[in-house]
Amino acid sequence: MGPLPESKDRLLEFAYTLYVEGMCECGRPKFECRNDANAGLYEVADVTCHAQAAVEEHTGQEKFKPEPGQRFYAQEIDEDLVTRRSL
């Protein structure tokens, strides 16, 4: 690790970089999910992301051909209809 950044923005960027580098692709901290002491302590949970399902339905169409660089994301149809509470 090099010298600490001087400005607040650089310090926040540095902290975020450390955070991202410490995360596993599964979304958990590497020190937790890659620790051999935790082997066998996880199970698979099945959930459906309805926003991602909408994107996959659109991009999975038979004649679908995106333009170079084109990206897709889910957008709310009506903000007032989306449930905003925990499961």
If phi over 0 gives left and psi between -120 and 50 gives alpha, with beta otherwise, what is residue 69?
A: left
Mapped onto helix, strand or coil, the DSSP state of residue 5 is coil
CA 47 to chain centre: 14
Model pTM above 0.75: no
pLDDT at position 31 is 95
pLDDT at position 87 is 60
Domain extent listing, the chain: 8-38, 50-75
pLDDT at position 79 is 79
Contacts of 23 (CB under 8 A, 6+ apart): 29, 30
pLDDT at position 57 is 94
Which residues of the chain register pLDDT less than 70?
A: 1-5, 86-87
